Structure 1
Amino acid sequence: MRRRNMVQLSEKDASVDMTPMLDIIFILLIFFIVTTSFAKSQGFLINKSENNKASSAPSDNIMIHIDENNILYFNTKPVDIERLTARVENFVANHATENIIFLPHKETNYQRVVTVLDELQQFKRLKISIGLYKQQSK
């Protein structure tokens, strides 16, 4: 009879209360969420104009595009990437301009686009607009 009582007691004591373990898991989860640091991604800032209306005052815009053969053009003239900043500086010195229109072809290598944008990034006072270059039919 004693053995039977011991078997019944051990079956009753075999249950484990999971509530404290869940509390500890939630506390650890909150700790890791609070102590995690989030890294900001590096990129470039594009400022959009606040008014969407076209300006009535004529101004010279700088147009830079890359065609389907990865040739870089500055105002319809081919240019090397090394000479691009000098061309922009010369144009800004001789013309009243506020805008750079950059039109890469849809099949252009992304690294080429990023390289051109890195070169143009030094001109803080100019607004850079990015579009998609479509070759005009002749």
Structure 2
Amino acid sequence: MKRRMKSLSVFDDKPEVDMTPMLDVVFIMLIFFIVAASFSTEKTIAINQPPKAPEEAIQEQKSNLLIHIDSTNHIKIDNRSIDARAVRAMVAQHLAANPDSQIIVRAHEMAATKSYIVIADQVRQVTQGRLMLTTYSN
């Protein structure tokens, strides 16, 4: 009888969940996400930006063509507003008169990258790489 009473007392304990396997799984998942996050890369466009040039230095070089993009993405050439589609014609016209000049795109820091890319594509079709980007802020 004593033996039977002992065996019943073992089953009277409350069941417990062993947390060790769950903690192992959590740590393995944590390591996985840390490693996976280090492999994610962002797709960017590499632009070699020259240092910020003061406006006076840009204005001194009269033979260069200055294309200005303001913070609202409006494009100006020689203080005249111009459509992005007309940039190519203006650059070609300028290079016909000044074949050794460079094209300088002066973009505001808050201007959209898309505006610069549209202008850069049109300028590269005419100049084969004589393009310089400067930025400014107010």
Q: TM-score range by the shorter chain?
A: 0.5 to 0.7
Question: C-alpha displacement at 1:16, in angstroms?
Answer: 3.2
Aligned-pair CA distance for 1:87: 1.1
Give CA deviations for 1:62-112 in whole Å, capped at 9, x if unaligned.
222356997532122332221112212332343333351424597xxx5xx
Map 1:32-43 → 2, pairs under 5 A: 32-34=33-35, 38-42=40-44
CA 76–11 in structure 1, closer or farther in 2 if over 3 Å, else same: same
Distance of 2:113 and 2:30 partners within structure 1: 40
Task: Indicate the SS of the match to 2:13.
Answer: helix
4+ residue runs of structure 1 moved beyond 6 angstroms? 67-70
- Which structure: greater helix fraction? 2
Q: Structure 1-normalised TM-score?
A: 0.57
How much identity, in percent, do the aligned residues show? 28
Unaligned runs of at least 5 residues, structure 1: 134-138
**Rounded Cα–Cα distance in structure 2 between residues aligned with 1:69 and 1:25:** 48
Q: Which runs of 5+ in 2 are unaligned?
A: none
Q: Deviations over 1:1-28 (max 9, x none)?
A: 755762455427x333322221122223
* Distance change (3 Å), C-alpha of 1:93 and 1:126: farther
CA distance in 2, matches of 1:76, 1:91: 15
Matches within 5 A, 1:44-83: 44-49=45-50, 58=61, 60-66=63-69, 72-83=75-86
Cα-Cα RMSD: 4.1
Partner of 1:136: none
Could you say which residue in structure 1 is the equivalent of 2:93? 90
